[in-house]
């Protein structure tokens, strides 16, 4: 165990190397620490501009942004929203916050992203168009929106998905929380559909400590989002509320941190892409045992979290690899359980081929340290440990 370093190598730690302290200091000195302030405005403007959107609204979390997006898309109780089965749980939870039901669409095993062909076939074969919209024939419920998630820094194949959504007149909401800084055919992830959402959680590429933001091209939607996020206040002085609102506004302190982080986004993406290419190089000879993430022809990935999938003789060794890495001071993690494997969503309709690709991938995948600040020495250590584990299996 001589390669154990004193500090464990983190999975995905924040990198606070820019103007963070300076901007925070300014908040304290000026007293602008709460939900109004120049950094909130700056963050909203800069993210919107970065991804070619007309307006942005900052929120307390990415989850809050997704919840608002569903409300703005008029998702009603008893309706349905298509979400991927393979994702962090937040989008499925948000559908339930809106009183609606998620319909879980399996992923393409090559990209891990939502399988657009499945969405198309499901709509064409199991849904019908009525005056009031698109109805799921299996459940009789109206389908109100489609919410793809750009997973792990890699974009969904969004053009064909947009085409299907347009055909069926379904609003598309991008969950871009894991993929700020990624591009689809040269267009920023988060520039597609009705609304797109980002997260500034601690392990995301840009952090505010915690926070989120939604962007849209429709100013009325942004105004409505701001209204709902401030308890739906209808009068600046008297406490008049004509709708149920939420306390979803980001503070200036959090925004200050995010603005400082955002200034470094291109360096962060470059660092993540460099980390990915080092892993790619190191593991290219282990193809029999390790399937590596591959950037699709349409994609420029931000490689937010580098995730490998065990195959061949190593297919059943996920937990062994996780334990081995963690014992040796390397923080590695499995993917999230597929949504349908979690109790609140067990009974949701699952759209897949013969068997669930998402559960298969979850059972075999491991995310490796991908922090912007990962040193080459640390990464060499991770590579060596992964190789040693895999070679032991190969015998
Ligand atoms: C991180 C994340 C979110 C939002 O997370 P918050 O912690 O609420 O900011 C939403 N969806 C996905 C897929 C995520 O990974």
Pairing of β 173-175 and β 127-130:
unpaired
- pLDDT score, position 7: 84
Q: Which atom of ligand 1 is found nearest the CA of 210? A: 9
267 confidence band (pLDDT: 50, 70, 90): very high
**389 CA to middle of ligand 1, Å?**
31
Q: Is residue 181 within 8 Å of residue 154, measured between CB atoms?
A: no
Q: At what angle do helices 252-262 and 38-50 cross, to 10 degrees?
A: 40
Model confidence at 253: pLDDT above 60: yes
CB of 44 sitting under 6 A from ligand 1: no
Distance 37 CA to ligand 1 centre (A): 24
Q: What is the CA radius of gyration of the chain?
A: 21
Matching residue, tokens 């939870």: 93
Q: In what order do the strands lie in the sheet with 299-300?
A: 187-188, 183-184, 299-300
pLDDT for the residue numbered 236: 83
CA distance 230 to 245: 7
Mean pLDDT, range 110-118, rounded to an integer? 98
Average pLDDT of the residues in 381-386: 98
288 Cα: distance to centroid of ligand 1 (angstroms): 33
In this structure, the strands spanning 101-105 and 80-84 are parallel
pLDDT of residue 1: 45
CA atoms of 87 and 152, how far apart (whole Å) = 9
DSSP, res 308: E
Q: What percent of the chain has pLDDT over 70?
A: 98
Instruction: Name the packing angle between helices 318-327 and 376-394 (round to 10°).
Output: 140
199 lines ligand 1 (CB under 6 A): yes
Q: What's the distance, Cα to Cα, between the start and end of the chain in Å?
A: 21
State in Å: Cα 199 to ligand 1 middle. Answer: 6
Nearest protein CA to atom 7 of ligand 1, as residue: 201
Q: What 3-state class would DSSP assign to 134?
A: strand
Mean pLDDT of the chain: 96
| Cβ 367 under 6 angstroms from ligand 1 | no
Average pLDDT over residues 213-217: 98
Ligand 1 in contact with 61 (CB < 6 A)?
yes
Residue among 97, 27, 35, 40 at smallest CA distance from 247: 35
> Of 142, 189, 197, nearest to 168 (Cα)?
142
Q: Which of 196-218 are b and which e, b meaning 16 or more Cβ less than 10 Å from the residue's Cβ?
A: bbbbbbebbbbbbebbbbbbbbe
24's tokens = 């925070």
Q: Is the CB of 91 under 6 A from ligand 1?
A: yes
Look at the pTM and tell me if it is higher than 0.75: yes
3-state secondary structure 184-232: ECCEECCCCCCEEEEECCCCCCCCCCCCEEEEECCHHHHHHHHHHHECC
Residue whose CA lies nearest to ligand 1 atom number 4: 62
Phi, psi of 255 (to 5 degrees): -65, -35
Tell whether the model's pLDDT for residue 301 goes beyond 80: yes
pLDDT in tens, 254-264: 999 999 999 99
Q: For residues 157 and 177, what is the distance between their CA atoms, to the nearest angstrom?
A: 16
* Residues 105 and 82 sit within 8 Å (Cβ to Cβ): yes
Residue nearest to atom 9 of ligand 1 (CA): 62
Is pLDDT of 3 > 70? no
| pLDDT given for residue 6 in this prediction | 66
pLDDT digits (tens, 9 = 90+) for 344-371: 999 999 999 999 999 999 999 999 999 9
């Amino acid at each position: 165990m001589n390669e154990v370093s004193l500090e464990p190598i983190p999975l995905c730690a924040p990198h606070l190397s820019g103007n963070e302290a300076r901007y925070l200091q300014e908040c304290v000195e000026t007293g602008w620490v709460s939900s109004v302030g120049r950094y909130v405005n700056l963050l909203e403007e800069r993210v919107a501009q970065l991804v070619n959107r007309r307006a942005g609204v900052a929120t307390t979390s990415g989850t809050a942004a997704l919840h608002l997006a569903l409300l703005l898309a008029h998702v009603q109780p008893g309706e349905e929203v298509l979400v991927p089965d393979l994702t962090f749980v937040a989008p499925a939870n948000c559908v339930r916050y809106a009183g609606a039901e998620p319909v879980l669409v399996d992923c393409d095993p090559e990209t891990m992203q939502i399988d657009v062909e499945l969405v198309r076939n499901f709509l064409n074969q199991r849904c019908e168009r009525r005056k009031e919209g698109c109805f799921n024939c299996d459940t009789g419920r109206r389908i109100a929106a489609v919410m793809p998630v750009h997973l792990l820094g890699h974009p969904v194949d969004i053009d064909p998905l947009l085409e299907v959504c347009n055909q069926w007149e379904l609003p598309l909401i991008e969950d871009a929380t894991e993929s700020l800084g990624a591009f689809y055919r040269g267009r920023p992830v988060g520039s597609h559909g009705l609304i797109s959402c980002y997260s500034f959680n601690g392990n995301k590429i840009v952090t505010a400590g915690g926070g989120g933001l939604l962007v849209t091209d429709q100013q009325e939607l942004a105004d409505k989002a701001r209204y709902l996020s401030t308890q739906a206040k209808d009068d600046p002085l008297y406490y008049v509320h004509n709708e149920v609102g939420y306390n979803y506004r980001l503070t200036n302190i959090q925004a200050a941190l995010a603005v400082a982080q955002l200034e470094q986004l291109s360096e962060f993406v470059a660092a993540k892409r460099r980390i990915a290419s080092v892993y790619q190089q190191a593991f290219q000879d282990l193809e029999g045992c390790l399937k590596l993430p591959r950037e699709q022809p349409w994609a420029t990935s931000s490689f937010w979290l580098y995730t490998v999938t065990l195959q061949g003789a190593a297919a059943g060794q996920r937990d062994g690899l996780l334990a081995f890495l963690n014992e040796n001071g390397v923080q590695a993690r499995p993917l999230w359980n597929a949504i349908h494997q979690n109790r609140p969503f067990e009974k949701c309709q699952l759209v897949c081929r013969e068997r669930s690709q998402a559960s298969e991938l979850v059972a075999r995948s491991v995310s490796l340290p991908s922090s912007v600040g990962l040193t080459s020495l640390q990464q060499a250590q991770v590579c060596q440990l992964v190789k040693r584990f895999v070679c032991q299996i190969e015998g």
